[in-house]
Amino acid sequence: MTRFVFVTGGVVSSLGKGIASASLGAILEGRGIKVSLVKLDPYINVDPGTMSPFQHGEVFVTNDGAETDLDLGHYERFVRTTSTRNSNFTTGRIYERVIAKERRGDYLGATVQVIPHITDEIRRCIKLGAGDADVCMVEVGGTVGDIESLPFLEGIRQMAVEIGRHNCVFMHLTLVPIVGGGEIKTKPTQHSVKELRSIGIQPDVLLCRSRDQLPDEQRRKISLFTNVEERAVISAVDSDDIYKIPLLLHEQGLDDIVLDRLRISAPPTDLSDWKAVVEAKFATDAEVNVAMVGKYVQIRDSYISLNEALVHAGLKTHTKVKVHYVEATDIERDGAGCLAGMDAILVPGGFGERGIEGKIEAVRYARENSIPYLGICLGMQVACIEFARHRLGLAAANSTEFNRDTPDPVIALITEWRDLNHGTVTRDERSDLGGTMRLGAQPARLEAGSEAARVYGAQVIRERHRHRYEFNNTYLEPMRAAGMRFSGFSEDDLVEVIELPGHPWFVAVQFHPEFTSTPRDSHPLFAGFIRAARAAHAEQGAATGTAAAPQSAAQA
């Protein structure tokens, strides 16, 4: 039987419920418990797939091809369980399911209402997401007191009645601000718990976000006012490293509190691999500068998995990775000069035309100046466009995503390039040919002897996809002849990996390796990329070293 930890948040949003849930998951997993995680999101979009990264940060893609909330990325970085499409439910998706049933007549003439129909569906979905785990962590998005999250809170309250209160833990994350001359304020926490209790949920654990460790006196006070036992009032101090959080929460006995309440006996936790992750940060012996050329760069959450993947690669290779965010539109305006001195360049995934020419310029800069390059999804597509334009002389080569009338659609919807190839479709007819998104994990075979096969140490890989457009195979032979290597293909012969032999390190992929990178394992492509950046950095250092030597000799 699965037991549940329900995680809610109060006072303000963005307190890090996702990371707190994931961290507790990591500690429990360290005690040999099988965990699963479910995220409930109060917004009405059926999934975040259509939401702008500016609005909602990154869209995380699961193995089974669902576009989900970025918190699922945290989950997968912290626990070994892989999320599925049933790990994330939004209000929109719950209503969609209920309305579909209503239309089918499943409710047999009943008036369909929030309670019980929506809340029943919420409970059903939670159980779907929980699977056969021993403990399922259920994170309710939003903040207690929001109108939108009420049905979810009601749903989890009912669930405790259904499966037994003793099989559930309610964990509430709040803020304990420090104001003025360092005064610790517990009132917002008191109020937020009051709000939660008014809808019938008495929390068992409070995670109090604060700058510093809460003094015992304040913990006692919070305990008294909120009816939460004192040892379960836990400080969640601001941390410079999210991977420290499992250790910090374990030190305060969070896992014992949770397991005691759930009456689960488990061996002591083994967090040695998390200690190793935290220590690896201090064991660096080189620093590299990586430019990330994107278009959502001012919103860090937009590339959260990517940023983490670079951190992981740094841990793996003992490298301090300094990421420099470059707006592609700045390159369009001022040229690629800002990339001078970078040890490596990365172009991440993206949608839409804005910034495309800047990204193409960044690729050109990396290729011509022999700077290691990693292209991801759109980053592979722009690499192909750049190569076609400047090595094949197809000056107007483009993706049909950005120019529907390009004479050389090196990147296009499959329907477009196949039909163009057979000459059966006119340009105007093309407009009706919609592309369906290629989503989720799919196998690719790597060419023996390629850089991709070398870094992966494998011939067949499985990586997650999220894109519509593909490399147009009509251009395979001419691009090959001009020196591009196509080193990975899908089962249906779509291009998955390209590289440039003769360049120090130039690899671009049609999939998203960042979604499967974890702090404990890192990801071979990112590790390969950072190793190449290190080599480039050492070479640059050697070059300036030799330049400096004669000078100092002259001074001497």
Which positions lie near ligand GLN, rule CB under 6 A?
349-351, 377-378, 381, 401, 466-469
Amino acid, single-letter form, for residue 426? T
Nearest-approach distance from CB 508 to ligand GLN, in angstroms: 11
**Closest-CA residue to 516 (of 462, 460, 447, 437):** 462
- Dihedral (Cα; 350, 354, 356, 358), 10-degree rounding: -120
Nearest-approach distance from CB 61 to ligand GLN, in angstroms: 9
The token pair at 506 is: 């130039």
Q: Which is nearer to ligand GLN, 506 or 515 (CB)?
A: 515
Q: Which is nearer to ligand GLN, 156 or 412 (CB)?
A: 412
Nearest-approach distance from CB 71 to ligand GLN, in angstroms: 20
Nearest-approach distance from CB 447 to ligand GLN, in angstroms: 22
Nearest-approach distance from CB 39 to ligand GLN, in angstroms: 21
Q: Which is nearer to ligand GLN, 196 or 508 (CB)?
A: 508
**Closest-CA residue to 439 (of 69, 65, 72):** 65
Q: Is 136 tagged catalytic?
A: no
Q: Which is nearer to ligand GLN, 38 or 411 (CB)?
A: 411
Closest residue to ligand GLN, based on beta-carbon distance: 349
Cis preceding-peptide flag for 116 (omega within 30 of 0): yes
What is the spatial distance between Cα 469 and Cα 402, in angstroms, rounded to a whole number? 11
State the catalytic residue, choosing from 499, 514, 523, 537: 514
Nearest-approach distance from CB 401 to ligand GLN, in angstroms: 5
The token pair at 409 is: 């659609």
Nearest-approach distance from CB 468 to ligand GLN, in angstroms: 4
Contacts of 220 (CB under 8 A, 6+ apart): 230
Contacts of 433 (CB under 8 A, 6+ apart): 413, 415, 416, 419, 425
Q: What is the DSSP letter of 377?
A: T
Q: Which is nearer to ligand GLN, 121 or 470 (CB)?
A: 470
**Closest-CA residue to 210 (of 234, 228, 193):** 234
Number of neighbouring beta carbons within 10 Å of residue 173:
28
Q: Is 377 tagged catalytic?
A: yes
* Residue 304 near residue 349, CB atoms below 8 Å: no
For residue 480, CA distances in Å to 159, 483, 499 come to: 59, 5, 10
Nearest-approach distance from CB 545 to ligand GLN, in angstroms: 39
Secondary structure in 3-state letters for 177-231? CEECCCEECCHHHHHHHHHHHHCCCCCCEEEEEECCCCCHHHHHHHHHHHCCCHH
Q: What residue has token string 């309710």?
A: 140
Q: Which is nearer to ligand GLN, 6 or 515 (CB)?
A: 515
Q: Which is nearer to ligand GLN, 494 or 535 (CB)?
A: 494
Q: Which is nearer to ligand GLN, 286 or 508 (CB)?
A: 508
State the catalytic residue, choosing from 56, 312, 467, 512: 512
What is the spatial distance between Cα 258 and Cα 33, in angstroms, rounded to a whole number? 12
Q: Where are the alpha helices (DSSP H) in 423-464?
A: 427-430, 451-456
Characterize 84-104 residue by residue with b for buried, 16 or more Cβ atoms within 10 angstroms of its Cβ, and e for exposed.
bbbbbbbbbbbbebbeeeeee
CA quadruple 300, 519, 314, 515: dihedral positive or negative? negative
For residue 135, CA distances in Å to 173, 187, 257, 299, 331 come to: 19, 32, 14, 33, 49
Nearest-approach distance from CB 437 to ligand GLN, in angstroms: 7
Q: Which is nearer to ligand GLN, 24 or 411 (CB)?
A: 411
Q: Is 217 tagged catalytic?
A: no
* Residue 336 near residue 361, CB atoms below 8 Å: yes
**Closest-CA residue to 362 (of 381, 333, 382):** 382
State the catalytic residue, choosing from 117, 377, 386, 401: 377
Task: Report the run of H or E that residue 412 belongs to, with start and end.
Answer: strand 409-412
- What is the β-pairing status of strands 67-68 and 168-175? unpaired
Q: What is the DSSP letter of 72?
A: H
Q: Which is nearer to ligand GLN, 217 or 492 (CB)?
A: 492
Nearest-approach distance from CB 241 to ligand GLN, in angstroms: 28
Residues annotated catalytic, as ranges: 377, 512, 514
